[in-house]
Amino acid sequence: MKQIYPVIFPLNLGTAIYLNCVGSDNFNTCVTIYYQLLSAENGALQVGNLYLSGADYQSYNTSNNGNQFIYDWSANQLGVILI
Q: pLDDT at position 54, please?
A: 97
Give the sign of the dihedral formed by CA 23, CA 74, CA 7, CA 5: positive
Question: How high is the pLDDT of residue 55?
Answer: 98
Q: What is the DSSP letter of 67?
A: H
Residue type present at position 23: G
Residue 12 has what pLDDT? 86
**Angle, vertex CA 67, rays to CA 55 and CA 63, nearest 5:** 45
What end-to-end distance do the CA atoms of the chain give, in Å? 11
Contacts of 26 (CB under 8 A, 6+ apart): 32
pLDDT tens-digit readout, 16-64: 999 999 999 999 999 999 999 999 999 999 999 999 999 999 999 999 9
Q: What is the pTM of this model?
A: 0.95
